[in-house]
A and B are shown apart, each in its own frame.
Chain A
């Protein structure tokens, strides 16, 4: 009877999760959706606490207080620009928790205190849960390092990296094999089981690190999405281990969410997941201060100033702002919003064109602009805005490069050919705010910079936008 009630409560929380996620389909309902999902979690926790025979309350209370305190602190203090780092850490914690729960299942069997019987399937699911959970954990920590800068954003590689990765995969497979082979006689051969599980855990820890290290910083949106998917899968496999429906349903939902985002990110770069994961892509073209201003032969660059850009934009009827990765790095979202306010006060129509990989994680640019109080109704996705560039008087590109590179559309030989881009070159004029002419993350030179209707404003994004705003203000007051 008690078991039935628990199962029904878990079903209820799974339903709440599904309704909660469904409400994420619109910005208007998303917030209540999140409340529904957290309610689902509360229901599951309360049911577990009151319907199972809990023995050690002090430990439970201590764990929830410590974890809850850290969680509240992290969630309250994080800067919106640092969101990818935080989500990476949370992914990692989710994976670690799943692996540890499977670990306790194993140790209970070893101690002889487990209530369930141990069989082949238990062995397989425990092994998978430890593997996926631990890879998620260490991979997420490395992803966090690359995003927050304590590990270089450039792809890290060394001779034998691939060989080592394969060797680790083989070791992990071997350890799982041993765990399966002793599962029949378990817990008699518990020493072998402990050794195999420890080897698996250690190998998985290294694997997670090696899988993320070779991937460049600008590919982290894909990595974070994928790790998000893994953290869900880890929870789902743990659900198989402890035979818990709530874990299987919610874990799988999260696995699907992460996988969808991974695919969207890869499509937006026109690269396969395998290509991203093998790493070594990019890292050369970072728009650093060590700018190269060499103009290729036969090409001319039209340079402009903040004052001229202010005039150009004030007399426009329609301006489309194209924010990119560089804007997120420079944290210039508030300045951009001020500029847009000034323009709108002049009667200029301002829209934002957001490429799917514009930020540092899926949808990140939208969050940054929302933080700066830009209404989501002015943010347009690639397929909705691309036809509008033709009717725009001015496109202002801020810190974006590859996502506006016409080679992706025109040059079949280009490495980025086929990647969906924002057609800014179709606007009557284009102002590109950028520190140099250096190529973007892909390393492919951008012909947009030499276009007849393109003007380059060589500057830091934040400073440039702030001075444009100042100039517009002066013009209005004059």
Chain B
């Protein structure tokens, strides 16, 4: 118990230290990514579903497993989808089509 408490306190410091430096631009992916990480409960759900013998525990564990998996799989995927949009390639393509070029006729001639 004491060890667990020590781990808890130290993790809180590590988390605060790392995460205060995350820029505002990435706050949404940070939240969804962190959310996926909180799905680590899946480990407990796996043990509860897979190792128990009484049906009650097994079914509660099964439900926990389903929701935890949604959280983990969905969370990481959606974070990746967002971060893909922030990617470097994207930024390069996006480099304003030469800001000095005086004109860019869009589409068909007038």
| A interface residues, Cβ below 8 angstroms from B | 10, 13, 17-18, 20-22, 24-28, 30-31, 33-35, 37-38, 40-41, 44-45, 48-49, 52-57, 59-60, 62-64, 66-68, 70-72, 74-76, 78, 80, 83, 86-87, 90-91, 93-94, 96-98, 100-101, 103-105, 107-108, 110-111, 113, 121, 224-225, 228, 231-232, 234-236, 238-240, 242-258, 260-261, 264, 341-342, 344-347, 349-350, 354, 356, 359, 361-364, 366-367, 370-371, 373-377, 379, 381, 473, 476-478
A100 in contact with B70 (CB, 8 Å): no
A151 to B14 CA separation, bound complex (whole angstroms)? 38
Q: Determine chain B's interface SS by DSSP, over half rule.
A: helix
A242 to B79 CA separation, bound complex (whole angstroms)? 29
| B interface residues, Cβ below 8 angstroms from A | 1, 4, 7-8, 11-12, 14-16, 18-54, 56-58, 60-88, 90-91, 93-97, 99-106, 110
| Contact among B31, B63, B93 for A362, CB-based, below 8 A | B31
B91 in contact with A375 (CB, 8 Å): yes
What's the A-B contact tally at a CB cutoff of 8 Å?
A: 403
The residues of A that contact B21 with a CB separation of less than 8 Å are 25
A367 to B30 CA separation, bound complex (whole angstroms)? 11
The residues of A that contact B52 with a CB separation of less than 8 Å are 55, 104, 108, 111, 113
Nearest CB of A to B70, in Å: 4
The residues of B that contact A342 with a CB separation of less than 8 Å are 106
| Contact among A93, A105, A231, A366 for B28, CB-based, below 8 A | A366
A473 to B105 CA separation, bound complex (whole angstroms)? 8
Identify 23 residue pairs between A and B in the complex whose beta-carbon atoms are under 8 Å apart, listed by A's number.
A18-B14, A30-B29, A31-B84, A34-B76, A41-B72, A52-B50, A54-B46, A63-B49, A72-B73, A75-B78, A83-B28, A83-B32, A103-B60, A104-B52, A107-B54, A224-B31, A252-B7, A252-B15, A255-B12, A257-B19, A257-B31, A366-B26, A375-B94
B34 in contact with A56 (CB, 8 Å): no
B8 in contact with A93 (CB, 8 Å): no
Nearest CB of B to A20, in Å: 7
